[in-house]
Chains A and B, each alone.
Chain A
Amino acid sequence: MLMNAASMVQIRLGPGADLDGFRAAARSLVAAGTPPEAVVWTQGGAADLFGAPVLPDGPPLSLPRAAADLVQLVVCHRDPERFGLLYRLIWRLTHGEKALLEVMSDPLVHRLAMMGKAIRRDLHKMHAFLRFRRVETAKGERFVAWFEPDHHILAAAAPFFRNRFGSLDWTILTPEGRVSWTGGALVFGPAATRDEAAAGDGFEEGWRDYYESTFNPARLNTTAMRAEMPKKYWRNMPETAAIPGMVRAALSRVDGMMEREPAMPTRRNPDKAVAAMQEAGPHSLEELNRIISGSEPLVPGATRAVLGEGPVGAAIAFVGEQPGDQEDLQGRPFVGPAGQLLDRALAEAGIERSATYLTNAVKHFKFVQRGRRRIHESPTAGEVKHYRWWLERELDLVRPGLVVALGATAALALAGKAVPVGRNRGLFRFGDRPGFLTVHPSSLLREPDPQAREEGFRRYCEDMRRIRELAAA
């Protein structure tokens, strides 16, 4: 439809991407019912010309998320038609074609999608091919880059660098503008020239070394290289100067490899290597404990790893759940309230604590902080299994006659799967190890009814007496 000049609306936007200007204009145009054919989009010019509002502000547009994303991308495109095309899209979305963006075969949607793709590619290449150079300043090190994007993407590209180089001071210079990150804020500034950029960096040569060394001349494929890294980017990338030489030398390097006689193996006997591999791993409890002490807690917070305690070759090894608050502070197993209860049961049954081996399935204290108190948290199945290798090796080295699992966590660690304690209390085989399964002493402490607690403790002592008999047999 042809419009006469008088009914045309002229919209003048700021330079570059001007997302805000476009959004405001689109809002007011839709509110005023102005169809796309009646709008002329222009950019730039004197500030006072577009300072005055052409139309009153409109209410916010509710666009599908995908449409808002597409607008944000496409406004960065260099094509002067982009605003007209985007407004046509918005018009159709708000006039009966709500699902328009799902129809990627529509010519308008297709064209905008291709423009969006070009922007995404431009952004991706800027994220990838931009190179910082280190500059010494009075305030310390600063990183400066020069880049020439195809489209108006500086503002859209900046958040990536902010997220990545948060602790550095950096500036990106482009022919259209600049952005700096200093003191926790992105600051945009005027256009830059190439000579403002830093001239060199002590690490570029090393990077070129890496670039050359990682190239395999037997796989030369320059078409694939150029498809992904077009030549227009090369002049601002320090490594690309090496390309012509690498390509030239590739063929002769491969010929050289093919012609070379296969090397006679000098020492082919693998015995030594295989023997060395079997030597791996700790061969004493001290060695294993050093490894455990040096490792990180799986859940951070613990003061230290609490190691097992007791003589190698002990008749009985008790395996608990994990160190508690007291154990973590003192660095010894079973010294808290539950440990004291265990001591009482051992004494009742006539088992000498110092003659047994005491350890935990999990070596670090896991807790939640409540005010000043650290409240014990049960380890998850994954955490228990994570520590299982140590426990297995530990028991291999201690070689106890009988392994006693105190509670479900210990049973899980020893059996490799969940074992309900109630139903399996008593004799239990953990793989190759003869064992016994009973409750953890802390479960007795948690029993609120004094009579039940008394009864529970009596049964616990019975278990301990059986354990003593089994270990003696």
Chain B
Amino acid sequence: MDTKVAAKLRILADAAKYDASCASSGAPKRAAGAKGLGSTTGAGICHAYTPDGRCISLLKILLTNYCLYDCAYCINRRSSNVRRARFTVQEVVDLTVNFYKRNYIEGLFLSSGIVKNPDHTMEEMIEVAKRLRRDHLFAGYIHLKTIPEASPWLVEQAGLWADRLSINLELPSQQSLEELAPEKNGGTIRAAMGQMHERIVEAKAEKRRFSPAGQSTQMIVGADATTDEGVLRTSDGLYRRYALRRVYYSAFSPIPEPSKVLPLKAPPLQREHRLYQADWLLRFYGFSVDEVAAGGDAGMLDLDIDPKLAWALKHRESFPVDVNTADRELLLRVPGLGTRVVDRIVAARRHTTLRLDDLARLTPGLKRARPFLVTPDHRPTRLIDRQDLRARIAPKPAQLELFG
């Protein structure tokens, strides 16, 4: 590889790593034609893991880390002393194709600092996607980070080439945005999300291709004073209003060039983890934000136990539930039982009566679920009242907190 390109790659991959999103899922299944390159399987593939436990699925880089903006939490802000670099459109295309051919990646995640003006930057990003699709008949995954301040027709063009579009909300409230990202405007961001949502829905109805894997966003957690409840309320609104596929939570991470207005200490990574769990409960388990928040304290989730267990411990009157008769909705509230396990329980009990041994084969989480379940050979009525129940089933502190 060209040494100049390699040097830029180091700078522009480093600059992009604070974006939590890496998913390559949700695109329609595609296979390369005889002359084409690339496919999507629907599920996405993680091609490697770094020692931070995060996967590498896409080549995640910035087109450039020069930026007109001065967002306090961002390493690439105008006033940061970080080294700068800038890829050409063709360099990004060549890197993507060459990495892809060696089976290193599922595709490209392209973001950028804003140079010259938003339109110029957005046009260059679109040009990358266009050349990949047209010159290389590239059928792999493309995720473009849309620049909300760019002209609306550019968002429309981006959706024609990308599998997923995203705009980072960055901070959960307009007030935080004003403090930490003075040039960003929450209204502009939401307007762009609304525009994308409308186009995605229409394209689906008209069987056209427009960002088929939907849109996502990211919020930085711990850089401002917003509580978990506040964060989740914002997410809930985004899911409802714009049908986002994912909201990513990125625990504010110490950066080599910190700004003065930021807290000195990073939030525990466990906080990010709990937010993801709570987010999951909102989307797949029928929990409301109020319910999730009620499991915690003063708007913050319990860092020691997962939010579903926290809720269950505060609602002991709802348990135990009978595995063989309880509604699906109720089973979904049992700690240790995931959606797939609940589906299996519901399917299996149509043909048989489930006993504790049977459950052990259906879920690896039986130990946690036991105090909340009834089977013909197990009735834990007393256990549920025990004062030390929390201590008995709460997991030992995980090593994740090492850097808390």
Residues of A within 8 A of B (CB): 99, 102-107, 110, 124, 127-134, 143, 145, 160, 163-168, 184, 201-203, 205-207, 209-225, 228-229, 237, 239-240, 243, 246-247, 250, 254, 256-258, 260, 262-268, 270, 272-274, 276-277, 279-281, 291, 295-296, 298, 380-383, 385-386, 389-390, 393
**B327 contacts which chain A residues (CB < 8 A)?**
none
- Could you tell me if B117 and A277 are in contact, using CB atoms closer than 8 angstroms? yes
Q: A-B pairs with the 6 shortest C-beta distances?
A: A224-B53, A382-B202, A105-B358, A206-B1, A163-B31, A221-B53
Could you give 23 example pairs across A and B, Cβ below 8 Å?
A99-B350, A128-B46, A132-B102, A165-B101, A165-B103, A167-B33, A167-B35, A206-B5, A209-B6, A210-B10, A213-B11, A214-B13, A215-B51, A216-B54, A219-B53, A221-B51, A224-B49, A224-B54, A246-B51, A267-B78, A268-B79, A276-B117, A277-B68
Of residues 171 through 218 on chain B, the ones whose CB sits less than 8 Å from some CB of chain A are 182-183, 198-199, 202-203, 205-206, 208, 210
**A202 contacts which chain B residues (CB < 8 A)?**
1
- Could you tell me if A225 and B14 are in contact, using CB atoms closer than 8 angstroms? no
**B383 contacts which chain A residues (CB < 8 A)?**
none
Q: Report the separation of the CA atoms of residues A428 and B339 in the bound assembly, to the nearest whole angstrom.
A: 53
**Closest residue of B by beta carbon distance from A381:** B202
- Could you tell me if A279 and B49 are in contact, using CB atoms closer than 8 angstroms? no
Q: Report the separation of the CA atoms of residues A210 and B130 in the bound assembly, to the nearest whole angstrom.
A: 23
B47 at the interface (CB under 8 A from A): yes
- Could you tell me if B259 and A265 are in contact, using CB atoms closer than 8 angstroms? yes
Q: Report the separation of the CA atoms of residues A239 and B48 in the bound assembly, to the nearest whole angstrom.
A: 8
**B205 contacts which chain A residues (CB < 8 A)?**
382
- Could you tell me if A385 and B358 are in contact, using CB atoms closer than 8 angstroms? no
List 4 additional contacts besides A213-B11, A237-B48; criterion CB under 8 Å: A105-B362, A214-B16, A277-B149, A295-B153
Q: Report the separation of the CA atoms of residues A266 and B36 in the bound assembly, to the nearest whole angstrom.
A: 48
Residues of B within 8 A of A (CB): 1, 5-6, 9-11, 13-14, 16-18, 31-39, 41, 45-56, 59-60, 68-70, 78-81, 95, 98-99, 101-104, 114, 116-120, 130, 137, 140, 149-153, 156-157, 160, 182-183, 198-199, 202-203, 205-206, 208, 210, 253-260, 262, 264, 266, 269, 344, 347-348, 350-352, 354, 358-359, 361-362, 399-400, 402-403
Q: Report the separation of the CA atoms of residues A202 and B94 in the bound assembly, to the nearest whole angstrom.
A: 14
Q: Report the separation of the CA atoms of residues A383 and B205 in the bound assembly, to the nearest whole angstrom.
A: 12
With A128-B47, A211-B56, A218-B403 in contact, do A163 and B39 touch (Cβ < 8 Å)? yes
Q: Report the separation of the CA atoms of residues A246 and B54 in the bound assembly, to the nearest whole angstrom.
A: 14
Instruction: Give the shortest distance, in Å, between A300 (CB) and chain B (any CB).
Output: 10
Q: Report the separation of the CA atoms of residues A228 and B55 in the bound assembly, to the nearest whole angstrom.
A: 9
**B13 contacts which chain A residues (CB < 8 A)?**
209-210, 213-214
Q: Report the separation of the CA atoms of residues A203 and B103 in the bound assembly, to the nearest whole angstrom.
A: 12
Q: Report the separation of the CA atoms of residues A383 and B307 in the bound assembly, to the nearest whole angstrom.
A: 44
Q: Report the separation of the CA atoms of residues A210 and B37 in the bound assembly, to the nearest whole angstrom.
A: 22
**Closest residue of B by beta carbon distance from A295:** B157
Q: Report the separation of the CA atoms of residues A415 and B216 in the bound assembly, to the nearest whole angstrom.
A: 29
B103 in complex: contacting residue of A107, A131, A272, A273, CB < 8 Å:
A131
**B47 contacts which chain A residues (CB < 8 A)?**
128-129
**A102 contacts which chain B residues (CB < 8 A)?**
347-348, 350-351
**A143 contacts which chain B residues (CB < 8 A)?**
101-102
- Could you tell me if A385 and B198 are in contact, using CB atoms closer than 8 angstroms? yes
Chain A CB within 10 Å, residue with most, of B16, B48, B78, B182: B48
Instruction: Give the shortest distance, in Å, between A251 (CB) and chain B (any CB).
Output: 9
Instruction: Give the shortest distance, in Å, between A185 (CB) and chain B (any CB).
Output: 12
Q: Report the separation of the CA atoms of residues A268 and B77 in the bound assembly, to the nearest whole angstrom.
A: 10
**A225 contacts which chain B residues (CB < 8 A)?**
49-53
**A247 contacts which chain B residues (CB < 8 A)?**
51
**Closest residue of A by beta carbon distance from B344:** A104
Instruction: Give the shortest distance, in Å, between B239 (CB) and chain A (any CB).
Output: 23
With A105-B358, A247-B51 in contact, do A166 and B34 touch (Cβ < 8 Å)? yes
Consensus secondary structure, chain B interface: loop
**B260 contacts which chain A residues (CB < 8 A)?**
262-265
With A128-B46, A207-B104, A225-B49 in contact, do A386 and B199 touch (Cβ < 8 Å)? yes
**Closest residue of B by beta carbon distance from A282:** B151
With A102-B351, A215-B51, A221-B51 in contact, do A389 and B14 touch (Cβ < 8 Å)? no
Instruction: Give the shortest distance, in Å, between B83 (CB) and chain A (any CB).
Output: 12
**A263 contacts which chain B residues (CB < 8 A)?**
79-81, 257-260
Q: Report the separation of the CA atoms of residues A356 and B359 in the bound assembly, to the nearest whole angstrom.
A: 77
- Could you tell me if B103 and A130 are in contact, using CB atoms closer than 8 angstroms? yes
Chain B CB within 10 Å, residue with most, of A129, A218, A381: A218
With A163-B31, A254-B403, A382-B203 in contact, do A131 and B56 touch (Cβ < 8 Å)? no
A221 in complex: contacting residue of B31, B262, B358, B400, CB < 8 Å:
B400
**A215 contacts which chain B residues (CB < 8 A)?**
17, 50-52
Chain B CB within 10 Å, residue with most, of A129, A265, A291: A265
**Closest residue of B by beta carbon distance from A124:** B45
Chain A CB within 10 Å, residue with most, of B254, B350, B362: B254
**A228 contacts which chain B residues (CB < 8 A)?**
46, 49, 53, 55
Q: Report the separation of the CA atoms of residues A390 and B156 in the bound assembly, to the nearest whole angstrom.
A: 11
Q: Report the separation of the CA atoms of residues A367 and B20 in the bound assembly, to the nearest whole angstrom.
A: 43
**B254 contacts which chain A residues (CB < 8 A)?**
218, 254, 257-258
Instruction: Give the shortest distance, in Å, between A241 (CB) and chain B (any CB).
Output: 12
**Closest residue of B by beta carbon distance from A167:** B35
- Could you tell me if B206 and A380 are in contact, using CB atoms closer than 8 angstroms? yes
With A239-B48, A382-B199 in contact, do A213 and B14 touch (Cβ < 8 Å)? yes
- Could you tell me if A104 and B347 are in contact, using CB atoms closer than 8 angstroms? yes
- Could you tell me if B9 and A296 are in contact, using CB atoms closer than 8 angstroms? no
- Could you tell me if B39 and A164 are in contact, using CB atoms closer than 8 angstroms? yes
- Could you tell me if A218 and B6 are in contact, using CB atoms closer than 8 angstroms? no
**Closest residue of A by beta carbon distance from B262:** A262
**B51 contacts which chain A residues (CB < 8 A)?**
215, 220-222, 225, 243, 246-247, 250
With A215-B51, A219-B403, A239-B48 in contact, do A389 and B152 touch (Cβ < 8 Å)? yes
Instruction: Give the shortest distance, in Å, between B293 (CB) and chain A (any CB).
Output: 26
- Could you tell me if A273 and B68 are in contact, using CB atoms closer than 8 angstroms? yes
**B183 contacts which chain A residues (CB < 8 A)?**
270, 273-274, 277
Q: Report the separation of the CA atoms of residues A264 and B77 in the bound assembly, to the nearest whole angstrom.
A: 12
Q: Report the separation of the CA atoms of residues A277 and B147 in the bound assembly, to the nearest whole angstrom.
A: 11
Instruction: Give the shortest distance, in Å, between B58 (CB) and chain A (any CB).
Output: 10
- Could you tell me if B1 and A214 are in contact, using CB atoms closer than 8 angstroms? no
With A167-B34, A168-B37, A213-B10 in contact, do A132 and B103 touch (Cβ < 8 Å)? yes
Instruction: Give the shortest distance, in Å, between B318 (CB) and chain A (any CB).
Output: 24
- Could you tell me if B182 and A270 are in contact, using CB atoms closer than 8 angstroms? yes
- Could you tell me if A382 and B403 are in contact, using CB atoms closer than 8 angstroms? no
**B269 contacts which chain A residues (CB < 8 A)?**
219, 221
- Could you tell me if B99 and A207 are in contact, using CB atoms closer than 8 angstroms? yes
- Could you tell me if A107 and B361 are in contact, using CB atoms closer than 8 angstroms? yes
- Could you tell me if B9 and A220 are in contact, using CB atoms closer than 8 angstroms? no
**Closest residue of B by beta carbon distance from A281:** B151
**A281 contacts which chain B residues (CB < 8 A)?**
119, 151
- Could you tell me if B17 and A213 are in contact, using CB atoms closer than 8 angstroms? yes
**A203 contacts which chain B residues (CB < 8 A)?**
1, 98-99, 102
**B11 contacts which chain A residues (CB < 8 A)?**
213
**B50 contacts which chain A residues (CB < 8 A)?**
211, 214-216, 225, 246
- Could you tell me if B45 and A132 are in contact, using CB atoms closer than 8 angstroms? no
**A262 contacts which chain B residues (CB < 8 A)?**
258-260, 262
Instruction: Give the shortest distance, in Å, between B182 (CB) and chain A (any CB).
Output: 5
Q: Report the separation of the CA atoms of residues A217 and B402 in the bound assembly, to the nearest whole angstrom.
A: 12
Q: Report the separation of the CA atoms of residues A213 and B95 in the bound assembly, to the nearest whole angstrom.
A: 15
With A128-B47, A167-B37, A281-B119 in contact, do A216 and B361 touch (Cβ < 8 Å)? no
Q: Report the separation of the CA atoms of residues A201 and B14 in the bound assembly, to the nearest whole angstrom.
A: 23
